[in-house]
Structure 1
Amino acid sequence: MRATSLAVLLICAALPAEAAAPICHAPAQARGGLTYGTVHFANSCAPAAQASLDLAIAKLHSFEAVPSDFAEPLKHDKWCAIAWWGAAMAARGNPLGGMLEDKEIATGRAYVRRAEQAATHATPREKGLIAAMAEYYGSFPDILSRARAYAAKMDALHAAYPDDPDLAAFDGLAIIEGADLNDRDYARQKRAGVILQQVMASHPENPGAPHYLIHAYDYPALAPMAVHAAEIYPTLATASSHAQHMPGHVWSMLGEWDKSIAANRQSEFVADPTSAHDPIKGDIVFEHAFDFIAYARLQKAQDRHVGEDLSAMRAAGQAMPTVVVARYALERGDWRDAARMPLPNDMFNAVLARFTRAYGAARAGDAAQAATEIAALRQLRGPIDEAAGAYWAQSDDIYADAAEAWRLKAQGKADAALALMHRAATADDGHGKHIYLENKLLPMRESLADMELALGHPAEALADYRESSKLAPNRYRTILGIALAATATGDRAAAHDAFARLLALAAEGDHTRPGDAAAKAFLAANG
C-alpha cells in the first residue's frame, strides 16, 4: 500500500483559508496534455482548491492518487474537509489488494480525524463520505468484515444521493471490495456492475465507472460484459499507467493474448516513454504488467522472448519476479528447471517458489525432493494465514495437495494420486483468482487432466481439459492436452481441430515445443 508522511498535509492545513465556493466542473489535467479524466466532484471547498481537488479525485479513480495529492487543495482552503477524506482514501492504495498493515490503518485514521475536525462547514454528503471512511478504518477482525461494513455505509450514502456519479462509482468499488473471492455466483460483482454501467451511461466521461466495472467483471464468466469498459477506460485517463493496464485484465480472462500484451506494453510506455520501441524494456518496466505480458507470451509459445526479458533483468541487476520465473518453467513443462528455481526471501513468493520446486520435482519423478519441498510449503501455511489471510492459506493448501498428488504418482500410487489431485482441482475451481495473481500459477483441473492422460484415462482427461478451458481459456497446454486426449480416444475430428488451434495460437512462437511438432505431424498425416 502507498502512504505519504502526515506532515505534508499538516503543513498545508496551516495555510490561510478562503471562502467556500460553488462546485467547479474542471477537467483534471496532467502532463503534456494527457489527462486522468474529467470529474465533477461536488464539494464545499474554496474556488482556488477546485482544480487540484478534481485532479486528485480523478487520480483516485485510477488508484494513482497518494495522500500528498490532496495537499494542494488544503493550501487554498484548510477547511476543505473532503481533501482529508481523499487522503484517507488514497492511503489505501489499491483497495482490492486485500491487505492492510497496522501502520497504514493508523495513517488512514489520522487523516479521517483531520477530516472530522475540518468538517465544520462540510455538506451532509461530505460528512457522509467522511463517516464511511471512519467506518473503514475502524477495528475489524479481517479485511472482508472491514470492507463490508464500509460498503454498507456507502450503499446508504448512494441511496441518499442517487444522481451523484462519483459517489455511485465509489459505492460500486466498495461493493466489489466486499466480495468473497470464493463466491462463485458473483452476486456482489454483478450488483456493482449494474451501478457502474448506469454511471457509464449517464456520465460517459467519468473514469471511475469503467475502471471499477473491469474489476467487477474480472472473471472468465463475466469478462465479456467488460469489453466496452476495457475499450473506453484507457481513452478517458490517458495519463494513467494503471488505466492503460486495466484492459489487460479483460483480455487475459478472455485469452486475447495479443491485446493483453499491447495493453500492458502501453501501460509501461506511459510510465516510461523510453520503453516504447524496445522489445525487451517495453515488457519489464513494472513487475505486475510484466507478469501479464510473460503469461501471454508463454501461451503464444514465445519462450525465447520471455527468457530474454528475464536475462535482461538479471543483467541489469533487477530482481526477476518469482511468479514469472515460475511460469517460465511450468508453462514450458521444464520440470527439472522448475525444481531448481531460486528461493526468495519474502513469504508470499516463497509459497510460489516452494510449490514450483515441489511440483517440478514430482513431475520429474524425484519423489524425495518433492517431499522435502512439500513439507516446507505446508510449514508456510500458518504464517501466510496470519499475515495475509485465509485466501492465501487456501492457496497454499491447494498447491501442497497438487504437488503431493504428483509425488504419489511418482511413487506408483496411482489411485491415491488421482484422488488427491481431484481434491486439489475441485478446491481450485472454487478458489477465485486474486488481482495480485491475475492468472493462476497453474490451473489445477488442467493438471488433473495431465495426470489422467498419463495414467491411461483419456476420456476423463478430455472432459477435464475442456472444463479447465472454461476457467482459463486459450491456454497452450490445455489446447495441447485436448488434442492429445482426443487422439487417444479416437476422436480424430476433435484432435484435428485442437491441433489446428494450437498451431494458430503459436504462429508467432519459437516453434521449438514438442507440442508444435506433434501438431504438425498429426495435421500432415490427417489432412
Structure 2
Amino acid sequence: MQRRLIEVIAALLAASPLPALAQDTHDHTVAPAVPAAPAVPAAPAAEARDEKHNHTDQTAPRTPQLMPGYGDGGFAISGASAEAQAFFSNALELHAAFAHTAAVRAAKHAVQLDPACVMCKWGEALIDGPTINYGKDAKERVPLLALARQAQAGTRSASARDRALTDALVLRYRPGDTARADRAYAAAMKGVAERFPGDNEIAWLAADALMVGSFAQDDGYDRGMMDQAIVLLERVLARSPKHTPAIHFYIHATEVIGKPALAEAYADSLPALAPRASHLVHMPSHTWYWVGRYQDAADTNRRAVEIGKANARALGIAEPDGVWNLPYHAHNVIYGLGGALMAGDSRTALDLARPLVERSAARDKAPPWSQLLAASGYFALARFDPAGALAVPEPKLDYLKAARRYARGEALVWQGDLAAARAERDAIPESIAKGPRKDWPKDATVAAEAMLGITRAVLDGRIAMAEGRFADAATAFRKGALLEETKEFSDFTDPPAFWYPVRRDLAAALLAAGDAAGAQREAQASLDLRKLDPVAQQILAAARLALGKGAAVQLR
C-alpha cells in the first residue's frame, strides 16, 4: 500500500481498550548508532530550497569528500579521471540512498574535477532531477536539460551504453508537461534496460524512472509501470541479492502494490549494507510494519534517528533546529512511533514522542498534514505517560490542540474521571478547516479533518466502555473505524496517522456485550488491516474461546 506523501510531509516540519493486553512489558535497549562519516560544518540552513521541492536528507559537507557507508549503485565510466570517477560513483550511491543534497554536490564536484567528463555531466543532470518523493517543476528542469544535452553531444563517439543513457535523459527534461516527460523518460529507460539486460545499474535506474513515471498523475499510480519496475528489480536481486538500490526501490514498490512480504528477506539485510545511510536504515520498516514486525520497525527507526542526530552534530547544524533540519528525520521519528505504539514499546515511543511534542508545540504556523503527523507524539503520551499527557502545555496550532484534547481524554478515562474526559471530548471540534487553500493539498485537509472525527468517536467509545454501555461503545467505535478506513485517510500517511486500527476496539466492545461471533469477525478484520497486532490477536483468541473454538488465533 502506497503512502508516498508522507515523505513530503516529513520535510515540513491512545490507549488500548484492554490495558492488560496492551501493557508494555519490556524495557527495550537499542543498539548504539553507527557514527556518521567525518565531516566539516555544513552550509547555513538558509541555503535550503523551499519546502515544496526540498531534496535535503543529508546536508552535504562544505568541503567535498567521499562519503562511504551508503550502499552501492555507482558504476565505471570511460574517460574520467580517477578522482572524478570516485565522486561520480559516490554521487550515485548517495542518490540511491536519498541523501539528495550530498549526492548533488558530489556529482557537481565530479564535473569540477574533470570538466571533460561528459558522463559526469549526465550524472549531475540525473541526480538533480525528480525522485519518487520530490518533483521538479518545468523551471527547475531548464538548467538540467542544458546539462543533459551537453552530455548527449559529448557521447556521440562514446559507447552504446553511454549514448543510450544520455539520449534517454534528454527526454526527461524537454519543455512542456513534466508528467508526460517523466513517462517518456521511463519508457526510454525501460528500452535501455532491455538492450542491456544484465546491467544491474541500468536496471535500477530504469526501475526508478518507471516508479517516478508511475506517480506522474493526479490520482494513485500506474500499476503497469510499477509492475515493470518490480520485474527489473527482481532480476537484479536474483543476480545480486545485496544490491542496495534494488532493495531500496523494491521495498517501496512492493509496499505500493500491497505485497510488502515480497521484500522481507531483502529488507532484513539492508541496514547492515548501508550503515551510515539513515534513510536506508529506516527503509525496512516500510516492509516490517506491514507484515506485523512492529518492534523491528520501531528499532530500526530509532537507530535511523540516532544516525541523523550524529550526522547533524558532525555537520555542525546549529540548534535549536539541529537534526530537524534533515527532513527525513521527522519521517523516521513518526515511523518509529508507529512501530513502538503497536509493539507496546514505551521507552522507544516516549523517547521519540517527547521531542516531537516539544518541537511541534513551539510552532505557530504549519499546514494540517504536518500537524496530523505530529499528533502521534500526543498519542504516545496518552498510551504510555497519562500524567505527561495531562501536564503537557497547550500547543498553538488548532489540530494539535485537538490532539492534546484527545490525549487528555484518554488519560482521564484511565483515572476514572469520566466527566472530565467527556469535557475533553466535547472540546475537540467537529471541523477546523476554514475553506480550501491552494497551498494545502485537498486530501491532506480531508485527512486532518477525519482525525477529529476519529478521536471524538474513540473517546465516546472509551467513556461508554467505562460506564458499561457496551452497545453504545460499539456504535462509537464503528463510527471511528469507518472514518479511519476511508481511502482519503488510510492512504494518506505511512505509517497510518492514527496509530492502531479502531476496529479492534469494536471487537472488544462486542465481546464485552456478549457478541462473541461479532467480536471474532471484527477482530479478524482488524488483523487484516494490521497483521499480527498483539491486542487484536488476544481479542480474537478470547472471542474464539467464548465460542468454544479454543484460543488458537487464525490469521488470514
Q: What TM-score results when the alignment is normalised by the length of structure 2?
A: 0.64
- Relative to 1, partners in 2 of residues 1:311 and 1:199: Cα closer, same or farther, differing over 3 Å? closer
Q: Secondary structure at 2:72's aligned position in 1?
A: strand
* C-alpha distance in 2 between matches for 1:150 and 1:455: 58
* C-alpha distance in 1 between matches for 2:543 and 2:221: 28
* C-alpha distance in 2 between matches for 1:440 and 1:69: 39
* C-alpha distance in 2 between matches for 1:272 and 1:403: 32
Cα contact 1:36–1:58 (8 A) shared by 2: yes
1:124 alignment counterpart: 163
Counterpart of 2:332 (choices 277, 289, 309) is: 289
Q: How does 1:181-200 map to 2 (within 5 A)?
A: 188-200=225-237
Cα contact 1:38–1:205 (8 A) shared by 2: no
- Relative to 1, partners in 2 of residues 1:406 and 1:259: Cα closer, same or farther, differing over 3 Å? closer
Counterpart of 1:462 (choices 517, 520, 529) is: 520
* C-alpha distance in 2 between matches for 1:408 and 1:258: 29
Counterpart of 1:325 (choices 366, 369, 377) is: 377
- 1:20-54 CA-to-partner distances (Å, cap 9, x unmatched) read xxxxxxxxx955x6453263255665565222111
- Relative to 1, partners in 2 of residues 1:338 and 1:465: Cα closer, same or farther, differing over 3 Å? farther
1:96 alignment counterpart: 132
Q: Secondary structure at 2:132's aligned position in 1?
A: helix
Q: How does 1:66-145 map to 2 (within 5 A)?
A: 66=101, 67-91=104-128, 95-97=131-133, 100=135, 106-122=139-155, 123-134=162-173, 138-139=176-177
Q: How does 1:160-175 map to 2 (within 5 A)?
A: 160-175=195-210
Cα contact 2:510–2:518 (8 A) shared by 1: yes
Q: Secondary structure at 1:96's aligned position in 2?
A: coil
- 1:306-362 CA-to-partner distances (Å, cap 9, x unmatched) read 3355457789999798244133046559699499885465xxxx6576467469759
* C-alpha distance in 1 between matches for 2:298 and 2:128: 30
Residue 239, structure 1, aligned to residue 276, structure 2? yes
Q: CA deviation at 1:133?
A: 3.0
Match of 1:124, as an amino acid? R
Counterpart of 2:483 (choices 424, 435, 455) is: 424
- Relative to 1, partners in 2 of residues 1:73 and 1:274: Cα closer, same or farther, differing over 3 Å? closer
2:26 alignment counterpart: none
Match of 2:525, as an amino acid? E
Q: CA deviation at 1:491?
A: 4.5
Q: How does 1:436-515 map to 2 (within 5 A)?
A: 437=495, 441-446=499-504, 448-449=506-507, 452=510, 457-483=515-541, 485-486=543-544, 489-491=546-548, 493-494=550-551
Instruction: Give structure 2 stretches of 5+ with no counterpart.
Output: 1-7, 12-42, 48-64, 156-161, 313-322, 364-372
1:399 alignment counterpart: 451
- Relative to 1, partners in 2 of residues 1:112 and 1:245: Cα closer, same or farther, differing over 3 Å? same
Q: CA deviation at 1:211?
A: 1.1
Counterpart of 1:230 (choices 267, 273, 283) is: 267
Greater RCO, 1 or 2 (C-alpha within 8 Å, sep 6+): 2
Q: How does 1:197-208 map to 2 (within 5 A)?
A: 197-204=234-241, 206-208=243-245
Cα contact 1:30–1:36 (8 A) shared by 2: no
- Relative to 1, partners in 2 of residues 1:421 and 1:263: Cα closer, same or farther, differing over 3 Å? closer
- Relative to 1, partners in 2 of residues 1:407 and 1:293: Cα closer, same or farther, differing over 3 Å? closer
Counterpart of 1:215 (choices 252, 256, 261) is: 252
- Relative to 1, partners in 2 of residues 1:55 and 1:101: Cα closer, same or farther, differing over 3 Å? closer
Q: Secondary structure at 2:109's aligned position in 1?
A: helix
Cα contact 2:477–2:503 (8 A) shared by 1: no
Cα contact 1:223–1:253 (8 A) shared by 2: yes
* C-alpha distance in 2 between matches for 1:341 and 1:149: 52
Match of 1:121, as an amino acid? G
Q: CA deviation at 1:217?
A: 1.8
Cα contact 2:389–2:407 (8 A) shared by 1: no
2:193 alignment counterpart: 158
RMSD: 5.0
Q: Secondary structure at 1:225's aligned position in 2?
A: helix
* C-alpha distance in 1 between matches for 2:446 and 2:440: 11
Q: CA deviation at 1:408?
A: 7.6
- Relative to 1, partners in 2 of residues 1:398 and 1:311: Cα closer, same or farther, differing over 3 Å? closer
2:38 alignment counterpart: none
* C-alpha distance in 2 between matches for 1:423 and 1:313: 28
1:514 alignment counterpart: none
- Relative to 1, partners in 2 of residues 1:392 and 1:175: Cα closer, same or farther, differing over 3 Å? farther
1:23 alignment counterpart: none
Q: CA deviation at 1:202?
A: 2.9
Counterpart of 2:87 (choices 46, 52, 61) is: 52
1:278 alignment counterpart: none
- Relative to 1, partners in 2 of residues 1:138 and 1:59: Cα closer, same or farther, differing over 3 Å? farther
Q: CA deviation at 1:89?
A: 4.3
Structure 1 stretch displaced more, 463-472 or 420-429: 420-429
Cα contact 2:107–2:124 (8 A) shared by 1: yes
Q: How does 1:293-442 map to 2 (within 5 A)?
A: 293-304=336-347, 306-311=349-354, 322-329=374-381, 331=383, 337=389, 342-343=394-395, 345=397, 354=402, 357=405, 370=425, 373-379=428-434, 382-383=436-437, 386-387=438-439, 389=441, 391-396=443-448, 398-403=450-455, 405=457, 420-421=479-480, 423-428=482-487, 431-432=490-491, 434-435=493-494, 437=495, 441-442=499-500
Cα contact 1:461–1:485 (8 A) shared by 2: yes
